[in-house]
Structure 1
C-alpha cells in the first residue's frame, strides 16, 4: 500500500463531500469501487484483511457511512 494512493483517495473524498445529492452519493460509490480495485478489498468482511489494512479500512468505512442510502 502506497501512502500517496491512500492520500489521493482521502483528497477525492474531501472534494466529493462538498457536493450535493444525489451526485454526491453516486460519486462516493464510485470512490469505494476504486478503492476495492486498488487495494483488493474483499466483498465480504474479512477480519484478517481489516487487521492488516487498518488505514484503508478506516477510510473505506468513513466513505461508506457518508453515503445517503
Structure 2
C-alpha cells in the first residue's frame, strides 16, 4: 500500500491519534504503548498488531522530541 501510514489515512491512523493523546496526557509511557502492541498480537493477530506497532512509532518519536525541547 503506497502512502499508507499514520499521516496518510492508512490502517495505523487511529492508533497514532490515540497513542499521541495518551502520551501527551501522561496516561501511557512509550514503553507501555509498545508492550500493548505486543500483547495485542495474541488477540488480533500478528499482522494487525504490526499495523498498530507501525501506527505508534511516529507518535512516540514526536512525543520524545517534544520532551527533549528545553
Taking structure 2 as the reference length, the TM-score comes to 0.38
Taking structure 1 as the reference length, the TM-score comes to 0.39
